[in-house]
């Protein structure tokens, strides 16, 4: 049984929730559950949000990938791992990751590598510097081959 007045109120609140920033369907569904909507009522609200363009998984994935790359300086591996908690389909995630400019990606790896390398200036052992820099870049979610290329460029 659908409570029409409750659904209308939830629709309005959910539209405001989605207008604040891009959201994943999973995120909205959790919010609707916290408002104690049934699964059927949640489906009605989500259908409305998608139809009215408040909710779009591909738009969410693009925004997530862009923001985590630009502002958090994460690599593709970490972005993939962190977006998985939003249950966005893999095909949409892979398409969104393609929007990250290859040249900017490599430039960021080099910039982060140089910055980390400089913080290790007191360390005289080149091998230790390389290991620490590689580990830092791997934690940021960059591919190991790119990390090694950047570190080998430093020494």
The residues spanned by each domain of the chain are 4-55, 58-97, 102-154
Q: What is the DSSP string of the chain?
A: ---HHHHHHHHHHHHHHHHHS---HHHHHHHHHHTT--HHHHHHHHHHHHHTTS--HHHHHHHHHHHHHHTT---HHHHHHHHGGGT--HHHHHHHHTTS-HHHHHHHHHHHHHHHHHHTTT---HHHHHHHHHHHHHHTT--HHHHHHHHHHH-
Tens of pLDDT, residue by residue over 68-82, are: 999 999 999 999 999
pLDDT at 83: 98
Residue 117 has pLDDT above 90, yes or no: yes
From the candidate CATH numbers 1.10.530, 2.60.40, 1.10.3470, 1.10.10, the one assigned to the domain spanning 4-55: 1.10.10
Closest alpha carbon to 133 in 145, 103, 118, 102:
118
Task: Kindly report whether the global pTM for this prediction surpasses the value 0.85.
Answer: yes
Residue 97 has pLDDT above 70, yes or no: yes
Contacts 24+ apart (CB under 8 A), 138-145: 140/73, 140/74, 140/75, 140/78, 140/112, 141/74, 141/75, 141/76, 141/77, 141/78, 141/79, 141/80, 141/81, 142/75, 142/76, 142/77, 142/109, 143/75, 143/76, 143/77
Q: What is the residue-averaged pLDDT of the chain? A: 95
For 102, half-sphere exposure in the C-beta direction (CA atoms, 13 angstrom radius) is 1
pLDDT at 155: 64
């Amino acid at each position: 049984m659908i409570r029409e007045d409750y659904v209308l109120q939830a629709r309005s609140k959910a539209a405001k929730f989605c207008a604040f920033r891009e959201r994943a369907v999973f995120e909205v569904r959790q919010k609707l559950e916290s408002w104690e909507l049934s699964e059927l009522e949640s489906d009605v609200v989500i259908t409305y949000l998608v139809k009215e363009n408040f909710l779009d998984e591909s738009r969410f994935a693009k925004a997530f990938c862009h923001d985590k790359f630009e502002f958090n300086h994460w690599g593709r591996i970490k972005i993939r791992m962190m977006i998985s908690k939003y249950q966005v389909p893999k095909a949409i995630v892979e398409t969104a990751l393609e929007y990250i400019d290859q040249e900017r990606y490599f430039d960021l790896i080099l910039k982060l590598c140089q910055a980390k390398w400089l913080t290790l200036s007191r360390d005289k052992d080149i091998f230790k510097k390389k290991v620490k820099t590689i580990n830092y870049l791997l934690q940021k979610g960059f591919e190991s081959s790119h990390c090694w290329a950047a570190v080998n460029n430093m020494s």
